[in-house]
Amino acid sequence: MAYLWCEDNQAISEWQGGLTAGTPLYLDTEFMRERTFWPQLALVQVHDGEQIRLIDTTRVDGPTLSPVFQQHTLVMHACSEDLEAIATFTGQYPAAIEDTQIAAALSGEDMQWGYQKVVQMLLGVDLPKGATRTNWLKRPLSDEQLHYAEDDVKYLPEVAALLAERLDKLGRRAWWQEECERLLNQARSVTPAEDAWRNVKGAGLLQGESLAVLAALTPWRDQMARERNLPKSFVLKDAQLLDLARASRSDRGLLADLGFHPKQIRRDGDALLALMEEGRRQTPPDPLPGPPDAAQKKLAKTLRNRVGVIAEEMDMKPDVLMRRRWLEALIRHPDRVPEPLTGWRHDIVTQPLLELL
């Protein structure tokens, strides 16, 4: 199947207008993000069931492509990062998705299987991986890149059909729909600024005044990353945030002592010092839960064993049923069931574990 290279807005609009309403589109994206906060969408690969189109998003604009994402179910593989790239480009997340990585996991395969692995497992086709880390924004794209991009959707309709058939036989199609909707809702969710500190590596080691300072600094770091379109670590690394939070003084000499570059001190020094002082005046948030104690570890082992038995009975991988962080949250607060453990998981695994608790 030969692909069609598309870089014309009018041609895309005409193609999209001719699609039957509700037709699923089998889709992948290529984007760049090494030195930016926002993903830069470079290419969209679409298989409409008859033709593969490679859409050049350096030429085609967001409003033209938006109906493609809003009026059709997008069938993708491991699509969480693709969703963000699409939303950044068009201003909206897709309306509906079906993720074949999730379908494979629910049918009994490993939860982390990539597209190449699934294609090899289901179809016996070995796909090359050579162009994965290339520069997708540079034009013209190489033949290797173009063939790689084509392969990313070439087999997707057949893969999706086989996995859907498996799920239908197992009575798990509704689970797939629920998990895909959950993934889409997670992508749409925004972490409140006051909770941004929770995503800092090492935040669990802080409490009291240090934690209050971290809670004041982190929203500023994240906002600067957005405004400057830089990775968060380019503004302030997590380790630097922790150093500032633990510091006992607030002066420019401190910033120099901590290894901040003179240019960074000139640009951001006053803001950082003011936020440190502000944080010390604030009531600190509740610290993150510490590591489980001996009793909790023993209980977790008992619960994991129960999950393993249930997973074996269902011919599923245990981590598809229960993630470690969900289990730990359930042990700490049995009265507050994590959202992923509602829905189809409730009767199968959540309720049996609550009875053990």
pLDDT values of the chain reduced to their tens digit, one per residue, 357 residues? 689 999 999 999 999 999 998 899 999 999 999 999 999 999 999 999 999 999 999 999 999 999 999 999 999 999 999 999 999 999 999 999 999 999 999 999 999 999 999 999 999 999 987 777 899 999 999 999 999 999 999 999 999 999 999 999 999 999 999 999 999 999 999 999 999 999 999 999 999 999 999 999 999 999 999 999 999 999 999 999 999 999 999 999 999 999 999 999 999 999 999 999 999 999 999 999 988 899 999 999 999 999 999 999 999 999 999 999 999 999 999 999 999 999 999 999 999 999 998
- pLDDT, residue 29, reads 98
Residue 64 CA to residue 18 CA, distance in Å, equals 14
- With 0-12 / 13-18 / 19 or more C-beta atoms within 10 angstroms meaning exposed / middle / buried, residue 313 is exposed
CB 268 within 8 A of CB 225: no
For residue 180, what are its two tokens? Answer: 């895909």
Q: Which of 330, 248, 347, 338 has its CA nearest to residue 292?
A: 330
Q: What is the CATH number of domain 193-281?
A: 1.10.150.80
CB 60 within 8 A of CB 158: no
Q: β-pairing, 96-99 with 3-6?
A: unpaired
The 10 Å CB-count burial string (b at 16+, else e) for 157-170 is bebbebbbebbeee
- pLDDT, residue 1, reads 62
pTM to 2 decimal places: 0.94
For residue 211, what are its two tokens? Answer: 């934690």
Same fold? 3-188, 193-281: no
DSSP string, 342-353: STHHIIIIIHHH
Q: Map out the domains of the chain as residue ranges.
A: 3-188, 193-281, 294-356
Q: Which of 3.30.390.50, 3.30.420.10, 3.30.465.10, 3.40.50.300 is the CATH number of 3-188?
A: 3.30.420.10
Residue 156 CA to residue 291 CA, distance in Å, equals 42
- pLDDT, residue 342, reads 96
Q: Which of 278, 281, 272, 234 has its CA nearest to residue 252?
A: 272
